[in-house]
Amino acid sequence: MTFDPNAKLDPSQVEDRRGASGGGAGAFGGGGFGRNGFGVPIVVGGGGAGLVITLIVIALYVFGGAMSGPTSSSVPAGSAAAYDGAQVDGSTVAQSCRTGADANSRTDCLVVGVVNSVQSYWSNELPARGVAYAPADTVLYSGATQAGCGLAQSAQGPFYCPVDKKVYLDVSFFDDLHTRFGAQGGRFADAYVIAHEYGHHVQDLLGLLGRSTANTTGQEGGSVRTELQADCFAGVWSDHAVQTGYLEQLSTSDIAQALDAAAAVGDDRIQQQTQGRVTPDSFTHGTSQQRQQWFTTGYQSGDLTACDTSKGNV
Ligand SMILES: [Zn+2]
């Protein structure tokens, strides 16, 4: 994945909290919000707190694996996924991420570029379908930060918080994708992760996140359907990414990176690795095969209406 080096980035869409107090995952070990809510279906009552909790549960575990317990955030030097080891220099995205050339050389600027492209696409596409697009910022943080849904911790992986309408991302997850989940990683794998989160924002705008069945677990449950649709929306953006003006033509290896990442975070693969067996009743995101299939559906159709995961078998 290569950005047009001359593309102008808008770093204001990314809130850079990496230098803020509150960093350092160790200071926030244990606890956190919603972790023990995993696997415990919460019945949606008459809205209010119950609804908020439900939405939080939906928002969490976006790439699964948060149940696997504490993980090391250290990344071995020379990791294949660590294509940019020079990103942490104390500067902010506002200072450093101005052009596509910056996005080609720095991971944090890659985030800015992908966020810009994804929002450019949906801010045109949704109004064409009669739905207003409200921009959603991505919060870059390191270790932990306060989110509208509670404390965000990097071990949770990236998530979309429907309360404050923001995506929370510690870029160390991109390395985790490789070292912890066994994905090959790569720049378009990272782009897929971001586009998936914005898929949840689009679902939010379409009124699809608050459904009473949205957090039910299991192979054909609401949670899996919600997550697979976000994968599909990521595929839809991928199909139109070049048209947004930020990216140069995608290659087959770019798409392969996204599919590989989608497979790496499938429930069946993660469960096999973490618990040694697969328990479909507790699926929340879908199998590797399902995640690849729905990304592909979005990518090949380029049409969000192809992403209706609400009916039939998924
Ligand atoms: Zn998700």
Q: Is 6 a member of any domain? A: no
Per-residue tokens: 220: 């054909």
Q: For the chain, what is the domain count?
A: 1
- CA–centroid distance, 44 to ligand 1, in Å, is 19
Q: Is 313 a member of any domain? A: no
Q: Is 40 a member of any domain? A: yes
Q: Is 1 a member of any domain? A: no
Q: Is 261 a member of any domain? A: yes
pLDDT of residue 40 exceeding 80, the answer is: no
Identify which of 268, 25, 309 has the alpha carbon closest to the alpha carbon of residue 154.
25
Domain carrying residue 45 = 11-307
Q: Is 44 a member of any domain? A: yes
Neighbours of 305 (CB within 10 A): 8
- Averaged pLDDT for residues 172-187: 96
Q: Which residue has the higher pLDDT, 244 or 83?
A: 244
- CA–centroid distance, 295 to ligand 1, in Å, is 12
- CA–centroid distance, 5 to ligand 1, in Å, is 30
pTM (two decimals): 0.81
At 16, which helix (H) or strand (E)? strand 14-16
268-303 per-position pLDDT tens digit: 999 999 999 999 999 999 999 999 999 999 999 999
- CA–centroid distance, 6 to ligand 1, in Å, is 32
Task: Please tell me whether residue 146 adopts helix, strand or coil conformation.
Answer: strand
- CA–centroid distance, 219 to ligand 1, in Å, is 15
Q: 151 near 33, Cβ under 8 Å?
A: yes
- CA–centroid distance, 288 to ligand 1, in Å, is 14
What pLDDT was estimated at residue 105? 97
Torsion angle in degrees (nearest 10) through CA of 39, 45, 48, 51: 30
- CA–centroid distance, 63 to ligand 1, in Å, is 6
- CA–centroid distance, 251 to ligand 1, in Å, is 25
- CA–centroid distance, 59 to ligand 1, in Å, is 7
At 9, which helix (H) or strand (E)? none
Q: Is 312 a member of any domain? A: no
Positive/negative CA dihedral, 49, 52, 57, 61: negative
- CA–centroid distance, 187 to ligand 1, in Å, is 19
- CA–centroid distance, 264 to ligand 1, in Å, is 14
Q: Is 2 a member of any domain? A: no
**What CA–CA distance (Å, rounded) separates 222 from 70?**
27
- CA–centroid distance, 293 to ligand 1, in Å, is 15
